[in-house]
């Protein structure tokens, strides 16, 4: 394993001699995407004309299938097969693993007559065209024996239990300290169900060649998908070739495999031809995961000077009855503010609804909607500026573990954001700034998101023309992974960016953990860097050991790489010339990265500060964004353009979280009320004006060799709370039930007599 000492040493990235790291390089695959020539999973051209699959889904929340009438569907034009639980090809049982090292267990489709949630796949149609498959699907008639289902979260809060393997975290004596505090806040906040609504639905194109299946699918984790399909089909994982080159958005919702992958592979084997299967937009809402609702109670106790004496955040969330997932909405708070007496924990309600799962910044995104508003409520009671309250509670070490921070620039984010945003213009008294019929206010919130490094590998080949090709079983879900890996490789080997090729998303390539958890760039990038360093040493040995090279006999540790050349003093040759002469078939190497032995000795996080200005219409209760600004500290920034795009995208999502985004359960069916983009409301261009973000200079040598961290989830953390705090400053209406829709705001305005 690498050590922190090694990571702190100078290297080609920290020296940044070519200036590629941090540069706002255009997207590597951008032209392919804007011209429509980047094939997504459903668009891949198979080796023969495909058949098309259509899923039929359950219309009850819980119960059994008592009868399925499929004769009309089977006789429908172009139909090749109709499957139900009665005749689906054999699969492994749910949860089984033939290989104990598999990252995912079997996940069979159409496994039994049991219905566990509305929208569960209960039948499958395969036809010669998509239109024929959909027409036949309408002819399947299903009879159910419905059972009593738990679908109302708020009515089921008393059923909450400790999540498996978890306990509440107690530090000091919270009850005693809270009771003794001079100023207190005790409020409850609610964040609703949210859906990922990626532009690209989950989809798979599959075909078989003998006993090996090739699947092009839309998934964030290559090895996870490969292993899940192999276990489901009960075949060795090396018989599953999974490819996921381009992904039209993930946000955690494609972190696992779904029925499209399983059914496409099964059907392709059954009919001996390629098969395409995709979820409809409506099916995506139920057949894939969602962010669960969370109710959060925050209790803060402070002395008169604003220093926290007691701190508690307790969250209740929900999951599907047989698929445990906990939205850890309290975890982030354990590392954010100093307080000697603390209580944090979670409760989990099991329900008969579609599966809950990870969604951009799981935990922090809903959790910070509570704490960062509670901090503002406490600041008002204390007569302190909200920024000043946060600064007074800035910890010297991690508040829970006592570990030192690797790098913590939250204070700098707050100061820089305050100056650039114009926070000094804020009137601390709510409802004092008017612009016609609009009341105008400002709000802010802190941001935090943990930093992670996972094991990963990469491969690198250089050919006789000097072109370097990086290969890695990593994914790009629209974040810019292709681009930053090209930049890292070019910088490490000292070649122009045009000499680098990047190939991703293939289970035959050296494995990487995939995109998720904000660990993608740091993990995949560190593996790419280490592989580049292996290539540097290999080429240095090749040059200094070749009598035909001008570097022959030199110390290989002293050579340099720049401008496509390998050199020492005034002796130089191009990499292309070296490889063409010495290894005309090319040179291939692999490298890997693992967390440092002492990585857990430090508290590692990314930080930020959000600032928002809103207008509230006193007649309609409508809230309009007027300005938003974020300052972030997230390690070394690899690409200024893609990094800014990630955090501003998160900020925009935060606006949606605060103002529009929610789903509810129809108690009659256990279904989501909103099942398309016409009713599930996300921000559009007209909703977002004057939004910007910057990064502070930072390099965290405790994190990885390049000092980089992730940015994909940090932008949403706290963003919605900044909007909520701005609404209160504008009109004096404090809402704790997200989203803050016009009806809720108007009710608050009317209650205040405005």
- Give the gyration radius of the chain's Cα atoms: 27
Is-catalytic flag, 388?
no
Query: 106-112: long-range contacts (C-beta < 8 A, 24 or more apart)?
Result: 106/228, 106/231, 106/232, 106/234, 107/228, 107/231, 107/232, 107/257, 107/262, 108/232, 108/262, 109/259, 109/262, 109/263, 109/266, 110/83, 110/84, 110/85, 111/85, 112/85
Closest by Cα among 232, 230, 279 to 253:
279
Query: Average pLDDT of 139-156?
Result: 98
For 91, the 3-state DSSP assignment is coil
Q: Is the pLDDT of residue 4 over 70?
A: no
- Tell the burial category of 71 from Cβ atoms under 10 Å away from its Cβ (0-12, 13-18, 19+): exposed
- Tell the burial category of 407 from Cβ atoms under 10 Å away from its Cβ (0-12, 13-18, 19+): buried
Q: How far apart are CA 554 and CA 42, in angstroms?
A: 53
pLDDT (tens digit per residue) in 64-121: 999 999 999 999 999 999 999 999 999 999 999 998 899 999 999 999 999 999 999 9
Q: Could you tell me whether strands 565-568 and 434-435 are parallel, antiparallel, or unpaired per DSSP bridges?
A: unpaired
Closest by Cα among 78, 233, 74 to 139:
74
Query: Average pLDDT of 360-377?
Result: 98
CA angle 176, 366, 192 (to 5 degrees): 110
For 433, the 3-state DSSP assignment is coil
Cα–Cα distances (Å) from 406 to 48, 341, 612, in that order, read 54, 24, 29
pLDDT band at 597 (very low <50, low <70, confident <90, very high): confident
Residues 6+ apart with CB under 8 A from 35: none
Cα–Cα distances (Å) from 221 to 244, 328, 421, 512, in that order, read 9, 21, 38, 8
Give pTM, 2 decimals.
0.97
Closest by Cα among 445, 467, 323 to 379:
445
Which pLDDT value is given to residue 17?
84
Which pLDDT value is given to residue 99?
87
Q: Is the pLDDT of residue 5 over 70?
A: no
Q: How far is CA 563 from the centre of its chain?
A: 36
- Tell the burial category of 550 from Cβ atoms under 10 Å away from its Cβ (0-12, 13-18, 19+): middle
User: Dihedral sign, CA of 112, 113, 119, 124?
Assistant: positive
CA angle 223, 228, 234 (to 5 degrees): 120
pLDDT band at 596 (very low <50, low <70, confident <90, very high): confident
Q: How far apart are CA 91 and CA 600, in angstroms?
A: 41
Query: Average pLDDT of 358-374?
Result: 98
Q: How far apart are CA 70 and CA 63, in angstroms?
A: 20
Q: How far apart are CA 570 and CA 561, in angstroms?
A: 13
CB 720 within 8 A of CB 369: yes
Q: How far apart are CA 399 and CA 367, in angstroms?
A: 17
Averaged pLDDT of the chain: 97
Query: Which H or E run contains 538?
Result: helix 520-544
Q: How far apart are CA 356 and CA 323, in angstroms?
A: 8
Q: Is the pLDDT of residue 463 over 80?
A: yes
What are the phi and psi torsion angles at 82 (to 5°)? -130, 120
Residues 6+ apart with CB under 8 A from 531: 457, 458, 459, 460, 470, 589, 590, 591, 592
Q: How far apart are CA 93 and CA 108, in angstroms?
A: 7
Closest by Cα among 470, 459, 469, 473 to 513:
473
Q: Which domains does the chain have, with CATH numbers?
A: 41-148+196-287 (3.30.365.10), 391-452+600-751 (3.30.365.10), 455-594 (3.30.365.10)
pLDDT band at 434 (very low <50, low <70, confident <90, very high): very high
Least confident of 210-224, 289-303, 585-599, 608-622: 585-599
**Cis peptide leading into 214, omega within 30 of 0?**
no
Which of 231, 416, 530, 713 does the annotation list as catalytic?
713
Q: How far apart are CA 103 and CA 512, in angstroms?
A: 12
Closest by Cα among 51, 57, 38 to 670:
57
Which pLDDT value is given to residue 1?
39
Closest by Cα among 659, 650, 666, 672 to 719:
650
pLDDT band at 3 (very low <50, low <70, confident <90, very high): very low
Query: Average pLDDT of 438-451?
Result: 98
- Tell the burial category of 85 from Cβ atoms under 10 Å away from its Cβ (0-12, 13-18, 19+): middle
pLDDT band at 7 (very low <50, low <70, confident <90, very high): confident
Q: Could you tell me whether strands 294-302 and 183-191 are parallel, antiparallel, or unpaired per DSSP bridges?
A: antiparallel
Query: Average pLDDT of 23-52?
Result: 97
Q: Is the pLDDT of residue 422 over 60?
A: yes
What are the phi and psi torsion angles at 115 (to 5°)? -110, 125
Task: Pull the structure tokens for residue 169.
Answer: 């975290």
Q: What burial letters (b/e) apply to 116-126, b meaning 16+ CB within 10 Å?
A: bbbbbbbbbbb
pLDDT (tens digit per residue) in 272-281: 999 999 999 9
Q: Could you tell me whether strands 183-191 and 114-115 are parallel, antiparallel, or unpaired per DSSP bridges?
A: unpaired
């Amino acid at each position: 394993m690498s050590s922190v000492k090694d990571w702190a040493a100078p290297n080609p990235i920290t020296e940044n001699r070519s200036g590629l790291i941090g540069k706002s390089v255009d997207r590597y695959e951008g032209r392919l995407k804007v011209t429509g020539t980047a094939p997504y999973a459903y668009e891949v051209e198979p080796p023969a004309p495909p058949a098309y699959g259509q899923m039929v889904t359950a219309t009850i929340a819980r119960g059994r299938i008592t009868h399925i009438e499929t004769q009309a569907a089977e006789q429908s034009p172009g139909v090749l097969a109709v499957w139900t639980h009665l005749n689906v090809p054999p699969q492994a049982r749910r949860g089984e693993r033939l290989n104990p090292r598999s990252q995912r267990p079997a996940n069979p489709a159409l496994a039994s007559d049991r219905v566990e949630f509305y929208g569960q796949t209960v039948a499958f149609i395969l036809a010669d065209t998509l239109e024929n498959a959909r027409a036949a699907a309408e002819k399947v008639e299903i009879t159910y024996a419905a059972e009593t289902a738990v679908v109302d979260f708020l009515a089921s809060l008393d059923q909450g239990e400790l999540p498996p393997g978890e306990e509440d975290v107690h530090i000091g004596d919270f009850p005693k300290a809270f009771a003794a505090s001079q100023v207190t806040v005790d409020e409850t906040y609610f964040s609703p169900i949210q859906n990922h609504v990626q532009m690209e639905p989950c989809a798979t194109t599959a075909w078989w060649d003998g006993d090996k299946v090739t699947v092009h699918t839309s998934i964030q984790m290559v090895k996870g998908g490969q292993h899940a399909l192999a276990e489901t089909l009960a075949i060795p994982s090396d018989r599953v070739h999974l490819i996921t080159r381009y992904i039209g958005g993930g946000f955690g919702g494609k972190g696992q495999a779904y029925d499209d992958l399983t059914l496409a592979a099964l059907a392709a084997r059954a009919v001996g031809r390629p098969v395409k299967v995709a979820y409809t937009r409506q099916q995506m809402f139920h057949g894939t995961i969602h962010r669960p609702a969370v109710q959060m109670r925050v209790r803060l106790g402070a002395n008169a000077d604003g220093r926290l004496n007691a701190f508690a955040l307790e969250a209740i969330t929900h999951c599907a009855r047989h698929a445990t997932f906990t939205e850890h909405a309290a975890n982030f708070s354990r590392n954010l503010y100093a307080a000697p007496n603390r209580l944090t924990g979670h409760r989990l309600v099991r329900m008969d609804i579609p599966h809950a799962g990870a969604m951009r910044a799981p935990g922090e995104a809903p959790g910070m909607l509570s704490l960062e508003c509670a901090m503002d409520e406490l600041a008002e009671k204390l007569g302190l500026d909200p920024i000043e309250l946060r600064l007074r509670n800035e910890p010297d070490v991690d508040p829970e573990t006592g570990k030192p921070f690797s790098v913590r620039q939250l204070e700098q984010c707050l100061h820089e954001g305050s100056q650039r945003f114009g926070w000094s213009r804020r009137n601390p008294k709510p409802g004092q700034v008017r612009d016609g019929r609009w009341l105008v206010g400002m709000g802010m919130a802190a941001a935090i998101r943990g930093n992670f490094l996972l094991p990963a590998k990469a491969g690198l080949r250089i050919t006789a023309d000097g072109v370097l090709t990086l290969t890695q079983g990593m994914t790009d879900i629209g974040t810019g992974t292709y681009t930053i890996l090209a930049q890292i490789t070019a910088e490490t080997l000292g070649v122009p960016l045009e000499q680098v090729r990047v190939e991703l998303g293939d289970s035959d390539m050296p494995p990487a953990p995939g995109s998720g958890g904000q660990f993608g760039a740091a993990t995949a990038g560190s593996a790419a860097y280490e592989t580049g360093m292996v290539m540097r040493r290999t080429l240095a040995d090749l040059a200094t050991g070749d009598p035909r090279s001008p570097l022959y006999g030199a110390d290989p540790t002293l050579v340099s790489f720049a401008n496509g050349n390998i050199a020492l003093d005034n002796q130089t040759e191009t990499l292309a010339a070296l490889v063409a002469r010495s290894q005309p078939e090319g040179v291939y190497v692999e490298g890997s990265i693992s967390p440092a032995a002492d990585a857990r000795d430090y508290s590692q996080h990314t930080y930020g500060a959000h600032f928002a200005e809103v207008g509230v219409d006193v007649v309609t209760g409508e809230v309009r964004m007027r300005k938003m600004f974020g300052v972030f500290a997230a390690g070394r920034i690899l690409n200024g353009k893609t990094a800014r795009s990630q955090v501003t995208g998160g900020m925009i999502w935060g606006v949606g979280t605060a103002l529009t985004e929610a789903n509810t359960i129809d108690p009659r069916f256990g279904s989501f009320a909103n099942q398309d983009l016409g009713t599930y409301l996300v921000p559009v261009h007209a909703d977002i004006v004057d939004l910007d973000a910057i990064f502070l200079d930072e390099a965290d040598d405790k994190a990885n060799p390049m000092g980089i961290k992730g940015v994909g989830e940090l932008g949403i953390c706290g963003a919605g709370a900044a909007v909520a705090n701005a609404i209160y400053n504008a009109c004096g209406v404090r809402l704790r039930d997200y989203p803050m829709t016009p009806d809720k705001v108007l009710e608050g305005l009317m209650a205040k007599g405005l």
